[in-house]
Amino acid sequence: MLELIRQPWPWYVAGALIGLTVPALLLLGNKHFGISSSLRHICAACLPANIPFFKYNWRREVWNLFFVVGVLFGGLIATQLLSNPDPIVVSEKTVQDLEALHVVVDNELMPASIFSFNNLFSLKGLVFFVLGGFLVGFGTRYAGGCTSGHSIMGLSTLQWPSLVATCCFMAGGFAMVHLVFPWLMKLF
């Protein structure tokens, strides 16, 4: 059994469990699934700076912060106790594409050639951590949600603005990988 849990989980198991988060949160206490809100609550709690957007009763939304701290612990538990002993299997075509961009595909979930502290004060670090993170934080809040709030919660409740947002999430990702990466990766 533990052997089976240690293997990478198939998409239908993961998808079903993630989908069940929607009714779980609704029925546990009328909470709406959405993770990027936590970033707003952190701003409201730590640095509201008199900005109207952060002047609300964040204490009432504190469940969201409990949830994301749980996600962090979940990552810790899965990695420490249930991790897959075998190297990650990446599609052959993606490996070839990434090699052409000089990204070394190694055995971990994230490529060490990008996501390491050595790159922190380099142009690579500026792009992958600072710019990337900024786009995620700014973009999700401007969009009014992320993959969880729009793509899962929004589509589950049949909201067409969420469908528009989901299509634009994908369009942005495709544009980055196919249009920007070939040019961007030459800089490093």
Partner 1 sequence: MQHTTEEFVTNPLVLEHPIECEAPNDQLTRETPIASNIKYMVVGIIFGIVFVKAEIISWYRIQEMFRLHSFHMYGVIGTAVVVGMLSVWLIKKFKVRTLQGEQVVFHKKEFHWGNIIGATMFGLGWAITGACPGPLFAQIGSGFLVVLVTFISAIAGTWVYGLVRERLPH
Site for partner 1 in 118-177 (CB under 8 A): 119-120, 125, 127-162, 164-177
Residue 56 is a binding residue for partner 1 (CB under 8 A): yes
Contact 141, 40 (CB under 8 A): yes
- Chain mean position to CA 50: 29
Task: Look up residue 127 and give its DSSP letter.
Answer: I
How buried is residue 186: exposed, middle or buried, by Cβ count under 10 Å (0-12/13-18/19+)? exposed
Q: CB of 76: closest distance to partner 1 in angstroms?
A: 4
Total residues contacting partner 1 (rule CB under 8 A)?
Answer: 138
Q: Hunting for tokens 């919660």 — which residue is that?
A: 153
Q: CB of 106: closest distance to partner 1 in angstroms?
A: 10
Residue 87 is a binding residue for partner 1 (CB under 8 A): no
Candidates 1, 2, 85, 117: give the one binding partner 1 (CB under 8 A): 117
Q: Among residue numbers 9 through 28, which ones bind partner 1 (CB under 8 A)?
A: 9-28
Candidates 86, 94, 99, 104: give the one binding partner 1 (CB under 8 A): 94
Contact 35, 148 (CB under 8 A): yes
Residue 113 is a binding residue for partner 1 (CB under 8 A): no
> Looking at beta carbons only, is 74 or 102 nearer to partner 1?
74
Contact 116, 128 (CB under 8 A): no
Amino acid at 104: V
